Amino acid sequence: MSTIEETLVLIKPDGVARSLSGEILRRIEAKGYSIVDIRMLQAERSLLAEHYAEHEGKPFYEPLVEFMESGPIVAVRVAGNRVIEGFRSLAGTTDPTTAAPGTIRGDLARDWGLKVQQNLVHGSDSPESAERELQLWFS
Ligand code: RTP
Ligand code: MG
């Protein structure tokens, strides 16, 4: 059954700084997903505060927002069948140390022992998040 969805992928500042944008986009396209829109930007704190509203108050929130402000981000609108779940599977689990080999985080993200996981990518986690986040980053 076909369930065409769109998701928001962010190549985080560590991915851009390490020149992994091309490799990450290659993996998305190789999986059969389509890049429908793309932009590079330096995110404002207000945008990040909205994007990460669900994490406000958690111990990693401040380091997370500081990390996301630390350099340019590539925001990508990606389309495909069940792409919301599919991209999260392609990305691997949050912690780079335990993310499975074969995933973006498992193959490419390093655990630097910092206050926050610098794990290269973000992917929306539900249809509701995808709609909200795409509106935020592409409007
Ligand atoms: P994302 O939202 O970036 O796709 O990642 P996720 O769903 O796998 O992880 P989430 O729980 O939503 O956390 C958002 C981001 O916060 C950082 N984080 N660091 N304990 C930690 O050091 C920690 N926990 C979360 C990561 O950058 C994570 O992707
Ligand atoms: Mg998340």
Ligand 1 mean position, distance from CA 23 (Å): 21
**pLDDT for residue 31:** 98
Q: Is the CB of 116 under 6 A from ligand 1?
A: yes
pLDDT tens per residue across span 67-79: 999 999 999 999 9
Give the mean model confidence (pLDDT) for residues 105-122: 97
Mean pLDDT of the chain: 98
Q: Is the CB of 73 under 6 A from ligand 1?
A: no
Q: Is the CB of 104 under 6 A from ligand 1?
A: no
Residue 92: CATH number of its domain: 3.30.70.141
Q: Which of 1, 7, 10 shows the shortest CA–CA distance to 126?
A: 7
Pocket test for ligand 1, best of 94, 97, 120 (most atoms within 8 A of CB): 94
**pLDDT for residue 1:** 80
How many domains does the chain divide into? Answer: 1
**pLDDT for residue 8:** 99
Q: Which of 119, 120, 131, 137 shows the shortest CA–CA distance to 7?
A: 131
Q: Label residues 79-91 b or e (16+ Cβ within 10 Å = b).
A: ebeebbbbbbebb
| Atom of ligand 1 at shortest range from CA of 114 | 22
Domain with 34 in it: 4-137
- 51 labelled catalytic: no
pTM for this structure?
0.97
